[in-house]
Amino acid sequence: MAKRTTKTDSVNTGSQEPVAASSSSGLDNNKASARASEAQAGRAQHMVASAREAHIIRSAIEYFALHGFAVSTRELAKHIGVTQPLIYHYFGSKEKLVDRVYQEVFFSRWNPQWEACLADLSLSIEERLIQYLEDYTRAILSNDWVRLFIFAALNDPELNQRYIGFLHEKIFSPLLRELRSEHNLDPQPTEIDIELFWGFHSSFFYMGIRRWIYRMEVPEDVAAVIKARVKHFLYGYSAILECEQQAE
């Protein structure tokens, strides 16, 4: 009897240990699964919030381009299909939302490759200008870019002044300095130089004004217009620089 009891105890002890181990492993797995679910839920919530914020910005761009920046956040919220407090939740104020729209439409579309293209001395200045302007016009000659740029100037010209200052620093000045140096002139652009290049450069933006403000037809072959205007500018500007050189 004693031996049977011992054997039975031994069997019972052996059978209990695996059950305990299995229970502990199950708890660990449940905890790990819960943590994974929480992390996944957090990521999903973040993705939903990011998507909602992006939707508000896209819709704001569309509405501002149509009606300008003077609209109220109540009107904007109605157009977007969200509550007014939700706009303030994501952006804090209408001014901050407008800043995000500016960033999205104007500065995020600036391509650093434009500067690299214009600095590539393996190409002629005519080839560089054509390449740059073909890509630049693709970026700006859209309904939202043109109309928002005009509305921004009417609302607060600081944005336009900042953007134009950026153009002067990154595009106008380097090209004018190069052209003046080629004619053995002081590389610092004069007021006349800047006005001439500004008129040339803004002529492409004016095509957008005609298309999206005046609702008039513009040439379909923008590339052909670019090539013609680049030749026209370089020919005329070179003649002016030669006159300046002779005057010295």
Which of 96, 126, 161 corresponds to the end of one domain? 96
User: Do 174 and 144 belong together in one domain?
Assistant: yes
Q: What was the pLDDT predicted at 38?
A: 55
Domain of residue 77, CATH code = 1.10.10.60
What span, in angstroms and rounded, lies between the C-alpha atoms of 92 and 85? Answer: 9
DSSP string, 56-69: HHHHHHHHHHHH-T
Q: Is residue 125 part of a domain?
A: yes
Determine, yes or no, domain membership for 102. no
Quickly list DSSP for 115-175. Answer: HHHHT-TTS-HHHHHHHHHHHHHHHH-SHHHHHHHHHHHHH-THHHHHHHHHHIIIIIHHH
118 within 8 A of 132, measured Cβ to Cβ: yes
Same domain? 153 vs 187: yes
Residue 215 belongs to some domain of the structure: yes
**Do 132 and 117 touch, CB atoms closer than 8 A?**
yes
pLDDT per position as a tens digit, 97-153:
999 999 999 988 899 999 999 999 999 999 999 999 999 999 999 999 999 999 999
Q: How many domains does the chain have?
A: 2
Do 191 and 72 reside in the same domain of the chain?
no
Residue 162 CA to residue 157 CA, distance in Å, equals 9
Domain range for 170: 109-247
pLDDT number for residue 84 = 93
**Whether residue 222 sits in one domain with residue 116:** yes
Clarify whether residues 77 and 173 are in a common domain: no
Within this chain, do residues 220 and 140 fall inside the same structural domain, yes or no? yes
The answer, yes or no, to whether residue 220 has pLDDT greater than 50, is yes
Identify the pLDDT of residue 171.
97
* pTM for the predicted model, two decimal places: 0.76
| Structural domain includes residue 103 | no
In a shared domain, residues 116 and 199: yes
Token pair belonging to 6: 């011992």
Residue 172 belongs to a domain: yes
Instruction: Sort residue 216 into left (φ over 0), alpha (ψ -120 to 50) or beta.
Output: beta
Residues 113 and 228 in one domain: yes
pLDDT band at 49 (very low <50, low <70, confident <90, very high): confident
Of 42, 74, 96, which one is at a domain's C-terminal end? 96
Residue 40 lies in a domain: yes
Domain membership flag for residue 223 = yes
- Same domain for 212 and 119? yes
